């Protein structure tokens, strides 16, 4: 869908809302009001002259605090970099500027973008549906800003669900493309095998428009018409992993999808869990190696624990993790091809967003560790370099927080056709509600 230029009045409304809501919900660590106004004025001038730089011209965009924007604080959510400012734009920021985007501010995140529900160095965003529950991470502020209507497009990084987790818990769209699709030049990347740039928005059309402009490797095609896709459903995995309420919401969503002609094919996908857990081992190896070169005394306790875990990680475990991921990528790709399917459909998380301090959850009467169960569906896509998207699909009756679907595409699949198939799913789902905080009139 085309994205209209945003008048200055709308930017001012967003700035007023951000000023009013950010002290409570902590979406932003920095807001560049002057820079945003200057960019918006330039966009309005182009519009008055009858010219445009494309679908992102005038769009209000936020960037996760680990993405350098020249002149902005560049903290990566860590005390290590509390006083640092970026001296140059990351490659993706240069693309956004060239496309006429209005850069609003830096959003909060887990320390060094390594997932954590809290951050002692820089307070993270709060879930606008329930501030006692996690808003997801590590692109926390991006999800909060999207849910509160503080911008149109929100950029983050994702090495194991870090864009999709906040999208799931905040009730917005979160898209992770394959490794090659969005440039990470000029950015700190701590897990090279897994980490990608990703996008969050309330509207899937915004994600499609952004990928058409910012994407590489042939993804610059505009959105086409939505056609009903075919999707595999790993029923045994879902039943073994998700709680009853999640399964009920998933079943209701599947009923809606089938009613619109979307084919859902139950299929066993052996090796999913091993490959997903392999992503955790790979992330620990690559990220832990980076942590050893930093001043551990200035890092938070969770990252110090991560560094300690890396020291005792065996090379054999990492080698096995990579083999598991490679094997599953091959078998999953073959299964999709055999069924003519676009991807696999699962819930986003196996249970509702837990309270921030939670270390365990109860699933079907059994108390289990939150980690690694929370990763059961989201992290796999990083292990096999597949596109994946989280789509809001309802509300948990018991907790009053969002439920989401996730679609995991074929390993190495380009973004454009995957998003086109995804749109048929999004269209079949009920319009996502907004949290009460987002309806605040400022």
b/e 53-66 (16+ beta carbons within 10 angstroms → b)? bebbbbbbbbbbbb
Strand partners, 409: 343
Asked if 212 contacts 222 with a C-beta cutoff of 8 angstroms, the reply is yes
b/e 336-349 (16+ beta carbons within 10 angstroms → b)? beeeebbbbbbbbb
Count of beta carbons in the 10 Å neighbourhood of residue 222: 12
Backbone φ and ψ for 104, nearest 5 degrees, come out as -90, -45
- How is 121-162 classified by DSSP, letter by letter? SSPPP--TT-TTB---SSSHHHHHHHHTTS-SEEEEEESSST
| Size of the chain, expressed as the number of residues it contains | 442
Cβ neighbourhood burial of 261 (10 Å; 0-12, 13-18, 19+):
exposed
Rounded CA-CA distance 255/428 in Å is 10
Backbone φ and ψ for 360, nearest 5 degrees, come out as -135, 160
Per-residue H/E/C for 337-375: HHHCCCEEEEECCCCCCCECCCCEEEECCEEEEHHHHCC
Strand partners, 366: 363
**Catalytic residue ranges:** 64, 138, 162
Q: How far is CA 408 from CA 220, 337, 411, 412, 413, in A?
A: 21, 14, 9, 11, 10
């Amino acid at each position: 869908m085309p994205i209209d230029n945003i008048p200055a009045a709308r930017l001012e409304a967003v700035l007023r809302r951000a000023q009013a809501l950010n002290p409570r919900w902590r979406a932003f660590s920095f807001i560049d009001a002057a820079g945003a106004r200057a960019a918006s004025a330039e966009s309005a001038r182009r519009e008055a002259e009858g010219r445009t730089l494309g679908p992102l011209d005038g769009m209000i965009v936020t960037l996760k605090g680990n993405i350098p924007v020249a002149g902005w604080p560049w903290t990566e959510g860590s005390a290590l970099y509390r006083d640092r400012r970026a001296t140059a734009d990351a490659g993706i920021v240069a693309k956004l500027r060239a496309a006429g985007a209005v850069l609003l501010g830096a959003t909060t995140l887990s320390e060094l973008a390594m997932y954590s529900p809290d951050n002692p160095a820089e307070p993270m965003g709060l879930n606008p549906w329930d501030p006692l529950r996690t808003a997801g991470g590590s692109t926390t502020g991006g999800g909060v800003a999207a849910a509160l209507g503080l911008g149109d497009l929100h950029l983050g990084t994702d090495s194991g669900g870090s864009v999709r987790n906040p999208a799931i818990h905040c009730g917005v769209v979160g898209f992770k493309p394959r490794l090659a699709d969005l440039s990470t030049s000029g950015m700190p990347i701590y897990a090279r095998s897994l980490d990608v740039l990703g996008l969050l928005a309330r509207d899937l059309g915004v994600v499609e428009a952004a990928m058409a402009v910012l994407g590489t490797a042939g993804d610059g095609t505009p959105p086409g018409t939505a056609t009903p896709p075919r999707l595999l459903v790993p029923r045994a995995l879902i039943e073994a992993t998700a709680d009853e309420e999640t399964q009920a919401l998933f079943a209701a969503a599947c009923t809606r999808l089938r009613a619109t002609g979307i084919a859902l094919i139950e299929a066993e996908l052996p090796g999913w869990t091993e490959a997903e857990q392999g992503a955790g081992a790979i992330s620990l190896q690559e990220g832990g190696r980076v942590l050893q070169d930093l001043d551990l005394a200035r890092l938070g306790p969770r990252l110090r624990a991560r560094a300690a875990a890396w020291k005792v990680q065996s090379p054999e475990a990492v080698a096995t993790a990579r083999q598991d991921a490679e094997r599953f990528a091959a078998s999953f790709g073959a299964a999709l091809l055999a069924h003519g399917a676009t991807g696999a459909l699962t819930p986003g998380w196996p249970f509702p967003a837990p309270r921030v301090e939670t270390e365990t959850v109860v699933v079907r009467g059994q108390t289990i560790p939150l980690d690694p169960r929370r990763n059961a569906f989201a992290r796999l896509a990083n292990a096999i370099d597949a596109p994946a998207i989280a789509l809001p699909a309802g509300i948990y009756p018991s907790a009053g927080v969002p439920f989401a679907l996730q679609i995991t595409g074929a390993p190495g699949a380009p973004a454009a056709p995957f998003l086109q198939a995804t749109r048929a799913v999004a269209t079949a789902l009920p319009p996502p509600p907004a949290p009460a905080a987002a309806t605040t009139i400022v």
